[in-house]
Amino acid sequence: MNPLLEAALRARRNAFAPHSGFLVGAALEDGAGTIHTGCNIENATFGLTLCAERVAVFKAVSEGVRGFRRIAVAADTATLTPPCGACRQILWEFCGNIEITLVNPRGRQETMRLQDLFPRPFDANFLG
């Protein structure tokens, strides 16, 4: 299996999801080929929960990384799980029309561009 997908599946095992039991991992590859991982981290109020994709982006950005190639998102669902709306917005702003691969632990996978999931994004172009 591809190292990016393996990293997302490994990151999934670190998820902190005591309320939903829904474990998600993400692995984000930067322009130099370094992989930055994230997992979902729940909070009892749910609104303060962070998704795996945002954790991976924020970790990389906090280390000074600015250019990204692709991301893998891993969840244990039969129907592959795409990023939520908030994650799509963050991915668009920080990564642009990045390649996204969805994967589950049974090896099912699908690859697309963010634009396919987020056809009319809001970004800084609208701010004038």
3-state class of 77 per DSSP? coil
53 is catalytic: yes
The residues, ordered by sequence, that sit 6+ positions from 112 with a Cβ below 8 Å of its Cβ are: 99, 100
3-state class of 34 per DSSP? coil
d(CA 128, CA 123) in angstroms, rounded, equals 10
Catalytic residue among 6, 53, 93, 110: 53
Task: Decide: 103 and 9 in contact? Cβ < 8 Å.
Answer: yes
Task: Decide: 20 and 45 in contact? Cβ < 8 Å.
Answer: no
3-state class of 115 per DSSP? helix
Q: Which residues are catalytic?
A: 53
